[in-house]
């Protein structure tokens, strides 16, 4: 069995999302949004591990600080590395009557949404996204499986423009 190289149109080939394979990368500032969100999730877990370490280690006469150091080390690694990896694996393309969203590394997803299936479109913005001038586009389609496709990490003006482009196609298709 021979290893075949990834085809040039493979959206998950190494750096394909950033190499212009018909997909545009999400805004790099989205990495900061993910970093803050990861910190908001990881720091309480690390604090909880530190408290458990402080309360339980003397009871079992184990090495004090081991759980604390491991938890904080994992939190720091997660905050620094995971967001940039996630941002690098998101890509999107819009055109030819469809929206394409590709994401993932271990679990890859490449979703193509024909505009004729779109029911409605939302542009959302959380407080951290607002801080960096970003929004996320949510496309709701007919059907049940994958009926909601979310594209995060878009500059707010681009997300609004994409919503209007899709809206115009919907009106044109049904007019």
- In whole angstroms, give the CA distance from residue 75 to residue 69: 10
- In whole angstroms, give the CA distance from residue 102 to residue 31: 17
User: Could you tell me if 87 and 30 are in contact, meaning their C-beta atoms sit under 8 angstroms apart?
Assistant: yes
4: tokens are 């075949």
**What pLDDT is attached to residue 6?**
44
Boundary of a domain, candidates 86, 103, 132:
86
**What pLDDT is attached to residue 149?**
92
**What pLDDT is attached to residue 20?**
43
**What pLDDT is attached to residue 21?**
62
Q: CB atoms < 10 A from the CB of 118, how many?
A: 20
- In whole angstroms, give the CA distance from residue 24 to residue 169: 20
Range of the domain at 82: 30-86
**What pLDDT is attached to residue 162?**
94
Shared domain for 38 and 65, answered yes or no, is yes
What residues contact 65, with CB distance under 8 A and at least 6 apart?
Answer: 53, 57
Q: Does residue 4 belong to any structural domain of this protein?
A: no
Shared domain for 103 and 53, answered yes or no, is no
**What pLDDT is attached to residue 138?**
96
Q: What is the domain-level CATH number for residue 128?
A: 2.30.29
Strands 24-25, 134-141: parallel, antiparallel or unpaired by DSSP?
unpaired
Q: Does residue 12 belong to any structural domain of this protein?
A: no
pLDDT of the chain, 175 residues: tens digit per residue: 444 444 444 444 444 444 446 799 999 999 999 999 999 999 999 999 999 988 888 888 778 888 899 999 999 999 999 999 999 999 999 988 899 999 998 898 999 999 988 999 999 999 999 999 999 999 998 877 778 999 999 999 999 999 999 998 886 655 5
User: Could you tell me if 85 and 105 are in contact, meaning their C-beta atoms sit under 8 angstroms apart?
Assistant: yes
Count: domains in the chain: 2
Q: Does residue 7 belong to any structural domain of this protein?
A: no
Boundary of a domain, candidates 86, 117, 133:
86
DSSP state of 117: G
- In whole angstroms, give the CA distance from residue 47 to residue 45: 5
**What pLDDT is attached to residue 175?**
52
For residue 53, what are the CA distances in angstroms to 58, 78, 138?
8, 20, 42
**What pLDDT is attached to residue 89?**
93
Q: Does residue 16 belong to any structural domain of this protein?
A: no
């Amino acid at each position: 069995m021979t290893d075949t190289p990834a085809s040039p149109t493979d959206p998950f080939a190494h750096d394909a999302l950033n190499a212009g394979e018909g997909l545009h990368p999400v805004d790099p500032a989205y990495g900061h949004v993910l970093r803050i969100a990861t910190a908001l999730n990881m720091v309480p877990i690390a604090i909880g591990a530190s408290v458990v370490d402080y309360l339980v280690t003397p009871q079992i006469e184990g090495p004090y600080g081991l759980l604390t150091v491991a938890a904080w080390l994992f939190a720091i690694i997660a905050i620094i590395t995971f967001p940039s990896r996630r941002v690098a694996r998101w890509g999107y393309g819009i055109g030819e009557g469809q929206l394409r969203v590709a994401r993932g590394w271990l679990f890859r997803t490449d979703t193509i949404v024909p505009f004729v299936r779109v029911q409605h479109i939302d542009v959302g913005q959380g407080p951290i996204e607002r801080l960096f001038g970003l929004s996320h586009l949510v496309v709701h389609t007919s059907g049940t499986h994958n009926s909601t496709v979310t594209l995060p990490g878009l500059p707010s003006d681009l997300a609004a423009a994409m919503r209007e482009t899709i809206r115009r196609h919907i009106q044109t298709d049904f007019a």
